[in-house]
Structure 1
Amino acid sequence: MLVKTYAAALQSIHAEIVTIEVNVNEGTWFQLVGLPDAAIRESHERIKSAIEIAGYEMPCSNVVINMSPADLRKEGAAYDLPLAVGLLAADEQLPYEKLNEIMMMGELGLDGKLKPIKGALPIAMLAQKEGYKSLIIPRENAREAAVVKGLKVYAGDNLKEICNFLATGEEPEIIEIDTDQELHIQQEQIEADFSDVRGQENVKRALEVAAAGGHNVLMIGSPGSGKSMMAKRMPGILPPLSMEESLETTMIYSVSGKLKANTTLMTKRPFRSPHHTVSPVALVGGGTHPKPGEISLAHNGVLFLDELAEYNRAVLEVMRQPLEDRKITIARAKYTVDYPASFMMVAAMNPCPCGYYNHPTRECTCPQYKIQRYLSKISGPLLDRIDIQVEIVPVPFEEISDTEPAESSKKIRQRVVNARKIQQERFKNAKHVHCNAQMTPAQIRKFVRPDEEGLERLKQAMDRFGISARAYDRILRVARTIADLEDSIDVTSKHIAEAISYRNLDRKTWGQKAF
């Protein structure tokens, strides 16, 4: 008897339908085809044990299973459940009438228990899109899948429970989630607050501008000046995630296997901080079987690169393309996958190997050539892609000992949100542009029109500091954001001057000691 069950295969952060065709007739052999990987080919023993524990018999007849489409590679043990149900239905131990309305996924233990899988959310979205009435999925993944409206999500515990449902109609637990309430409750909490940061008002201002326009930022300062502390507080001043952003971010974490059990949505902007020994593949994604890298895990959030000059130069250079395109393309001989990578890069570094160049009280012991060599680890093209470069000096004792609370992240976030609303209105008819940092050259010419005094300031800065054409555009983008924070329609000389002040490493004299 021929029976079909339905599952899904993950491709990038999306899923595609997999039809499992099971044919049981006379004979004594078992064949599984359709480009399965080793984990699927080994499923026979897991399925056999689970079926027997559930009180059924493993078919001893001639079994042929085809996983369609045959040219789509299927990976992992998540196909155990639809394979087991298909075998029992084809052997007439279970009714098959309901199977064309149900998608199911789940790894089986030898005792028949369902184990969690990767990619529950994109699988649920596919099931809803393709018109399936319900999805059977392991309990640990059910809350994640239940955020998809219009789909009945069953939380399965074991194979016996699923077989009983198909045989008698006794439904497993149905999971329902109020996604709007989940998103609202979690977003109100700010774990790391800028009120903890004493002094550094100029740096806080630069980070506020960066958050308001989605700009990349580099902080340069001596050890202990607060670079990491402030970077970790960046997610708290970024606008709350929209439902669309939350779903997309959750999908990335889901297919990566990094979403915690019984989680619904990613409700806070991600903050990723890879160590400086990270490999290019771990950073941008890829591998034999491609997976999202750190830049995709930071999508819609912050990627913090501490000790930037300590990263391997080859690792940093592979970021140049995703910083521009806001996605990463992983190409292999037989297929290509795209992962989103629209992140805000926050980097920090010392000004020299010893860390005390330009320190007000401690002397730098580095020779001139070592300082230049240290700074040259960051290439010009990469620096051009960092809109804001700000120098940090140690906080004076008077500011450290001040007992007055600093401005909270909540207040800063409100100004950032107001500026982002202005940008949303500005770019409402533009595709793939949501903030000032993403403006195209044509949009810069349209929306950023400095006054004559501002243009003169910009010309002087280009002549004096040797600013590149790309950095010129970056300055105009930052100036537009500064104007938005002040709710100013026009970009004035004052806005241009502040934007230029955030280009510290463009100065020809940076890193040169005065002897």
Structure 2
Amino acid sequence: MFTQINSGGIRAVRGYVVSVEADVSNGLPGFSISGQLASEVRESQERVRTALRNSGFRFQAKKITVNLSPAGIHKGGTAYDLPIAIAVLGAFEQADTRELKDSLVIGELGLDGCVKPISGVLPLVDAAREYGLKRCFLPAANVREGMMIEGMSIIGVESLGQMAAMLRQPSSIGQCTPSMEEGVLEETYDVDFRDIRGQLVLRRAAEIAAAGMHGLLMNGSAGTGKTMVAKRLPTIMPSLTREEDIEISKIYSICGLLPPDRPLLSRRPFRSPHHTITPLALTGGGAQARPGELSLASGGILFLDELPHFSRGAIDILRQPLEEHKVTVTRVHGSYEFPADFMLVAATNPCPCGFYPDRSRCSCSELQIQRYLDHIPRPVLERFDICVDASPVTYEELNGAGGTGEDSASIRRRVERARNIQAERFSGTRIRFNSRMGMKETQEYCTLGQEEGSFLKTVYETKQLSARRYHKILKVARTIADLDGCGLISRKHLSEALGYGMLEERLWG
């Protein structure tokens, strides 16, 4: 007998529906699975056979053929165990699979027949909804995650025997309906900007960077607070909308990185890979084409500490994502597109030992310093709209002289106001932030008065600025004006924006 039920697979960061077909016929007894399968899917026949036996099912010796369609797409993961088992039961007429015509079935099986949790539930349930299915049978441990997708009925399954019993008595199937309240999770952080003492310039630069999604490069000796500032940047960025939260959580769901007690991430990502990371780990890909660090940072912060210590290949790989905000990876099984819409933040020391220009502690030669700084390619360096020095913290600042700094909530309110101005400004376009403006938008939204234009012209000619640097100044000045609630860019805004390029000019020319 032939039977067919719906399951799902993941390609890049999107789910798709897979048809699991099973047929039982006379012939040489055996169990075969086809459909361009990864090793873990081929191995599922042993898990399924043993789980069926240990769940109390007995079959005649028949030829069992299972096909996963479409056969032209490579399939990996362990989510096919449960649907294969149910399809086999249906083919042996030991389960009525007619109840599953409008359902998606996914889950990994243990040898005792228990249904184990899987990764990638969010994109799989979302794909089922787009395909027109009405409900999903998921591992019981994944029910809360599946309920985050609206418009789908979710049924939790704890064992193969339990699901077979539900199919024998459809009236016993208990469905969980998604609730908006279930998806409203508190956004919590363990850090706050009030923890930072001193570093007023660094704090201000971080606020401007967050408001306009500008790339931020911090330079300074070890222990001056660069990493502290970077880790607190998500706390001053606007809260995620539900749509953003689901899209970001899909990526973490695929990688199995969602917090065990939270079905959604519910806060801006912060990724800080070690400098030994490979280009492949940054972009994603591999045999199963999974997202990398650039995709995990999408919607939040990618922090590269000790930037010159990263391999040249890892730094160069950032060029396309910073330009297109996505990563395209080509492998034997096809091309995969991953999101990479993040804010780039990096920190560097002024020299290999980290103490320059304090010659009482720094013994690096000028050649060593130059080689160290030249390790950052110019095309990537140009992506940092704001470059700022982190000065050493004084004893008085460290011990709270002048009171504690402003907290993250107060800074976030200003950032949100500036983001709202940008949302209104770029309404109807694909641009969302000042940092993403092209030449046309810069000319339209960064107009200068006569006095401001004369001032910038003098600076441009005196310092022999490049066209790239000129447009960076205008974009940053536009963000500073938005933070001040000003429709026009003033000389004060231009002067501050110019100051955030002095470090780049001093160190790299």
Shorter-chain TM-score above 0.5: yes
- Report how far residue 54 of structure 1 moved: 1.8
- Report how far residue 258 of structure 1 moved: 1.6
Which amino acid counterpart does residue 130 of structure 1 have in structure 2? Y
SS in 2 for 1:330: strand
- Report how far residue 421 of structure 1 moved: 0.6
Confirm or deny that 1:217 pairs with 2:216.
Answer: yes
- Report how far residue 191 of structure 1 moved: 1.9
SS in 2 for 1:232: helix
1:235-250 to 2 correspondences below 5 Å: 235-250=234-249
Task: Note if contact 1:140-1:262 (Cα within 8 Å) is conserved in structure 2.
Answer: no
Task: Note if contact 2:212-2:434 (Cα within 8 Å) is conserved in structure 1.
Answer: yes
Q: Deviations over 1:301-353 (max 9, x none)?
A: 11111111111122101101101111111112441111111101111110111
Name the CA distance, whole Å, in 1 between partners of 2:260 and 2:70: 30
Task: Note if contact 2:152-2:177 (Cα within 8 Å) is conserved in structure 1.
Answer: no
For 1:490, the equivalent position in structure 2 comes to 488
Confirm or deny that 1:316 pairs with 2:307.
Answer: no
When normalised by structure 1's length, the TM-score is 0.94
For 1:393, the equivalent position in structure 2 comes to 391
For 1:340, the equivalent position in structure 2 comes to 339
For 1:115, the equivalent position in structure 2 comes to 116
Task: Note if contact 1:79-1:106 (Cα within 8 Å) is conserved in structure 2.
Answer: yes
Task: Note if contact 1:218-1:346 (Cα within 8 Å) is conserved in structure 2.
Answer: yes
Confirm or deny that 1:193 pairs with 2:215.
Answer: no
Q: Deviations over 1:468-508 (max 9, x none)?
A: 3333222211111001000110112211111111113432x
SS in 1 for 2:101: helix
Identical positions, percent: 39
Task: Note if contact 1:6-1:20 (Cα within 8 Å) is conserved in structure 2.
Answer: yes
Q: Deviations over 1:82-117 (max 9, x none)?
A: 100000011101112112121100110101111111
Task: Note if contact 2:55-2:113 (Cα within 8 Å) is conserved in structure 1.
Answer: yes
Task: Note if contact 1:391-1:504 (Cα within 8 Å) is conserved in structure 2.
Answer: no
Confirm or deny that 1:154 pairs with 2:190.
Answer: no
Name the CA distance, whole Å, in 2 between partners of 1:490 and 1:21: 64
- Report how far residue 463 of structure 1 moved: 4.2
SS in 1 for 2:186: helix
Name the CA distance, whole Å, in 2 between partners of 1:428 and 1:204: 29
Counterpart selection for 1:439 from 437, 446, 449: 437
- Report how far residue 409 of structure 1 moved: 0.4
For 2:413, the equivalent position in structure 1 comes to 414
Query: Structure 1 463/510 Cα, relative in aligned 2: closer, same or farther at 3 Å?
Result: farther
Which amino acid counterpart does residue 120 of structure 1 have in structure 2? V
Name the CA distance, whole Å, in 1 between partners of 2:334 and 2:111: 34
For 1:91, the equivalent position in structure 2 comes to 92
Aligned length in residues: 507
For 2:75, the equivalent position in structure 1 comes to 74
Name the CA distance, whole Å, in 2 between partners of 1:265 and 1:109: 26
For 1:510, the equivalent position in structure 2 comes to 507
Q: Deviations over 1:408-458 (max 9, x none)?
A: 000000000110011111111102x21111222211111111223333443
Question: Which deviates further from its counterpart, 456-465 or 287-296?
Answer: 456-465
Task: Note if contact 1:155-1:172 (Cα within 8 Å) is conserved in structure 2.
Answer: no
Which amino acid counterpart does residue 77 of structure 1 have in structure 2? T
How much is the aligned-residue C-alpha RMSD, in angstroms?
1.8
Which amino acid counterpart does residue 66 of structure 1 have in structure 2? N
Query: Structure 1 158/260 Cα, relative in aligned 2: closer, same or farther at 3 Å?
Result: farther
Task: Note if contact 1:219-1:391 (Cα within 8 Å) is conserved in structure 2.
Answer: yes
Structure 2 unaligned blocks of 5 or more: none
- Report how far residue 180 of structure 1 moved: 5.1
- Report how far residue 70 of structure 1 moved: 1.1
Question: Which deviates further from its counterpart, 333-342 or 240-249?
Answer: 333-342
For 2:427, the equivalent position in structure 1 comes to 428
Query: Structure 1 467/325 Cα, relative in aligned 2: closer, same or farther at 3 Å?
Result: farther
Task: Note if contact 1:467-1:506 (Cα within 8 Å) is conserved in structure 2.
Answer: no
Query: Structure 1 52/38 Cα, relative in aligned 2: closer, same or farther at 3 Å?
Result: same
- Report how far residue 363 of structure 1 moved: 5.0
Question: Which deviates further from its counterpart, 256-265 or 158-167?
Answer: 256-265
Query: Structure 1 201/108 Cα, relative in aligned 2: closer, same or farther at 3 Å?
Result: same
Which amino acid counterpart does residue 44 of structure 1 have in structure 2? Q
Task: Note if contact 1:451-1:493 (Cα within 8 Å) is conserved in structure 2.
Answer: no
For 2:202, the equivalent position in structure 1 comes to 203
Question: Which deviates further from its counterpart, 30-39 or 404-413?
Answer: 30-39
For 1:25, the equivalent position in structure 2 comes to 25
Which amino acid counterpart does residue 330 of structure 1 have in structure 2? V
Task: Note if contact 1:457-1:493 (Cα within 8 Å) is conserved in structure 2.
Answer: yes
- Report how far residue 172 of structure 1 moved: 5.3
Which amino acid counterpart does residue 17 of structure 2 have in structure 1? I
Query: Structure 1 337/429 Cα, relative in aligned 2: closer, same or farther at 3 Å?
Result: same
Which amino acid counterpart does residue 2 of structure 2 have in structure 1? L
SS in 2 for 1:233: helix
Name the CA distance, whole Å, in 2 between partners of 1:115 and 1:457: 66
1:30-69 to 2 correspondences below 5 Å: 30-58=31-59, 60-69=61-70
1:140-151 to 2 correspondences below 5 Å: 140-151=141-152
SS in 2 for 1:347: strand
Query: Structure 1 247/480 Cα, relative in aligned 2: closer, same or farther at 3 Å?
Result: same
Which amino acid counterpart does residue 33 of structure 2 have in structure 1? L
Task: Note if contact 1:307-1:348 (Cα within 8 Å) is conserved in structure 2.
Answer: yes
Task: Note if contact 2:326-2:341 (Cα within 8 Å) is conserved in structure 1.
Answer: yes
Question: Which deviates further from its counterpart, 50-59 or 190-199?
Answer: 50-59
Confirm or deny that 1:281 pairs with 2:277.
Answer: no
Q: Deviations over 1:362-390 (max 9, x none)?
A: 55322211111111111211111111100
- Report how far residue 170 of structure 1 moved: 5.2
Task: Note if contact 2:151-2:178 (Cα within 8 Å) is conserved in structure 1.
Answer: no
Question: Which deviates further from its counterpart, 120-129 or 393-402?
Answer: 393-402
When normalised by structure 2's length, the TM-score is 0.95
SS in 1 for 2:80: helix
Task: Note if contact 2:48-2:81 (Cα within 8 Å) is conserved in structure 1.
Answer: yes
